[in-house]
Amino acid sequence: MAARPSSIPQANPIDPSRTPTVRILYVEDDPVAASLFKDAMEQEGYTVDIARTGAEGLAMINDFAYDLIALDYLLPEFTGMHILRRLTENENHPPVIMVTGNQDSAVVLEALRLGAADYLIKEQANNYLGQLSDIVSRVLKKRQLEREQQEFVAELHRQNRNLALLNRVTQIFTSTLNEEQVTTQLVSTISEFTDTEGSSVWLWSRANRNLLECVAIYSRGELVEPHHVTLAAGQGIAGWVAKQGETVLVNNAHADPRFSPSSDAKLNFRTRSLLAIPLRAPDRILGVLELVNKRDGGFTDSDRILAETLASSAAIAIENARLFEHLNEQAEELRLRNEELDAFAHTVAHDLKTPLSLVTGFADMLRENIDMLHPDEINIYLNHIIENSMRMNHIIESLLMLAGVRGISHVDVERVDMGQIVHEALRRVEFMLEEREAVVHVPTEWPAAVGYGPWLEEVWYNYVVNALKYGGNPPVLWLGAEASDDGEICFWVQDNGPGVADHGDKLFTPSLRSQRAEERKGYGLGLSIVKRIVERLHGRVGAKNASGGGSIFYFTLPDTLEEDKDKA
């Protein structure tokens, strides 16, 4: 070994503020040289450990993580080269400086070949420990630059990967107008590229604007059926984000007071970390994209930026899909209305033609023969004119009612007094009941239902008139209602007529009616009005044969208001 100097000149240190935890191991059997090096390095802000033998050095390398190792070549038990070979078995070993004597150039070459970061020949100068300090600083700076470069390259790869993701997903979003495809693609893609256990999409319910519905779930590598999982506005972190329109990043979900465990319980899942992003359309919040349980550490700003970018594209795609769906619905509605208008035109033409012909005929007879007619005959003609004029007026009123039902975009439903509504409808047909000597059986009590009184009166009126026209002779009518277990009330009118054959529900569309006058049934206009009203009130209509003969025309209504269902 060379003579040991008594002091070490000050080295050019690496910036300690940038490497506050740098830890160095110096394997040196000379205690004086090791102590001097340790003191000098610690003054520069480093932590230095000393090993006196090769075996001790290997043991400390196994026990601690070092940022740099300086190895003296000649050591008791194991040489520095032996330790270097052991270190290079691990690709991620810290940088190594080999310290050797003047006659050991072959050792230096072998050390560099094995991957040593630098070397020092002791006899090259009297202050070799000072030079060692300089070399340590230089190697650490180089190591720091290499790490920064590696981080830069890794970040560049990550950015390129994210750009490729955005490009791929954007192409998918722009290639489909199906909302389900958009949401399922979103949850599967975002989970893959943020390395999360799962993700979900929550959208405001179309039926209830105060309720979030889970429409897509991706968990542990596969799509999961949401099973009608819902959250109230403001409930849980997703509900809060949907209501406030702000992103939330939480790496300890259960410590956040906004977190609700209800969804975890329904899905048999445990949320640890969470990232929730609003799905923002130009003029409103559609819902929330939620990512759960980052596998490697917690969610970062990079995850947030990526998720917000994807959420923005997805929101536009969802809005476009809904617009396309709405346009299709409007097109279908227009098609159906055109068909209805065509059918109504034939129906009304027939229904108006007969009374109008009678009015014209009797009026013409009066004009031509009034001087020769007896007063009683004149009264008969006038009564026919008045009666058929009233028939035409009723047809026109029915058309106005149908137009009103179709034209109103919203009607306020409420709990109705069905007994009073039936009473008013029967009062309107008193003259027909007397004329036909009809018998009507009406229950004393009616179950509660939800609807709109003026429209429901028109429904009962049309059903009763229909039963009087096509019932027995004399007509016998039974009116009734029955509650079901599915939240509906079924109301009906039963007659003692010949029944409805096989027509059933088709009776409620005018298109059933034959173009041959003698085969026309006359159901079309009134029952079309009934069908339109009941469907606007979220019910159903139908007709069937009664078991004991006759026919039953029925309609259903909800038994509870929507807001009361939500509270339940």
Same domain, 121 and 170: no
Each residue of 461-477: pLDDT tens digit?
989 998 998 888 899 99
Cis peptide before 474 (omega within 30 of 0): yes
Same domain, 167 and 308: yes
- Given 3-state DSSP classes, what are the helix, strand and coil percentages for the chain, each rounded to the nearest 5? 50, 20, 30
Query: CA of 498: how far to CAs of 12, 389, 480, 508, 557, in Å?
Result: 111, 30, 20, 18, 27
Is 343 within a domain?
no
Same domain, 236 and 144: no
Same domain, 124 and 40: yes
Same domain, 189 and 82: no
pLDDT of the residue at 403: 66
Same domain, 419 and 561: yes
The answer to which of 152-161, 220-229, 262-271, 341-350 has the lowest mean pLDDT is: 341-350
Query: Which residues are within 8 A (CB) of 439 and not within 5 positions of it... i.e. 6 or more apart?
Result: 474, 475, 476, 477
What span, in angstroms and rounded, lies between the C-alpha atoms of 381 and 90? 115
DSSP letters spanning 88-154: TTSTTPPPEEEEE-TT-HHHHHHHHHHT-SEEEEGGG-TTHHHHHHHHHHHHHHHHHHHHHHHHHHH
Q: For residue 167, give its domain range.
A: 161-326
Query: Which residues are within 8 A (CB) of 215 and not within 5 positions of it... i.e. 6 or more apart?
Result: 179, 180, 183, 201, 202, 203, 226, 287
Residue where a domain terminates, one of 281, 301, 326: 326
What span, in angstroms and rounded, lies between the C-alpha atoms of 471 and 219? 61
The answer to which of 136-150, 273-287, 499-513 has the lowest mean pLDDT is: 499-513
| pLDDT greater than 70 at residue 356 | yes
pLDDT of the residue at 78: 87
- pLDDT-based confidence at 408, cuts 50/70/90? low
Once rounded to an integer, what is the mean pLDDT over residues 263-270?
A: 76
Once rounded to an integer, what is the mean pLDDT over residues 327-339?
A: 83
Direct distance between the N- and C-terminal alpha carbons of the chain, in angstroms, rounded to an integer: 89
Same domain, 314 and 171: yes
Same domain, 179 and 127: no
| pLDDT greater than 60 at residue 567 | no
What span, in angstroms and rounded, lies between the C-alpha atoms of 10 and 136? 12
H or E stretch covering 347: helix 301-369
What span, in angstroms and rounded, lies between the C-alpha atoms of 261 and 113? 59
Same domain, 227 and 301: yes
pLDDT of the residue at 270: 85
The answer to which of 10-24, 276-290, 492-506 has the lowest mean pLDDT is: 10-24
Q: What residues form DSSP beta bridges with 211?
A: 232
DSSP one-letter code for 437: T
- Of 278, 274, 282, 279, the C-alpha closest to 254 is 274
The pLDDT mean for the chain works out to 83
Residues 280 and 311 sit within 8 Å (Cβ to Cβ): yes
* Token reading at 535: 């469907």
Is 334 within a domain?
no
What single letter denotes the amino acid at residue 190? Answer: I
The answer to which of 127-141, 257-271, 395-409, 546-560 has the lowest mean pLDDT is: 395-409
The answer to which of 47-51, 191-195, 556-560 has the lowest mean pLDDT is: 191-195
Same domain, 237 and 321: yes
Each residue of 156-190: pLDDT tens digit?
887 777 777 777 777 777 777 888 888 888 888 88
Question: In this structure, is the dihedral angle defined by the CA atoms of residues 174, 175, 180 and 184, taken in order, positive or negative?
Answer: negative
- Of 100, 104, 97, the C-alpha closest to 26 is 97
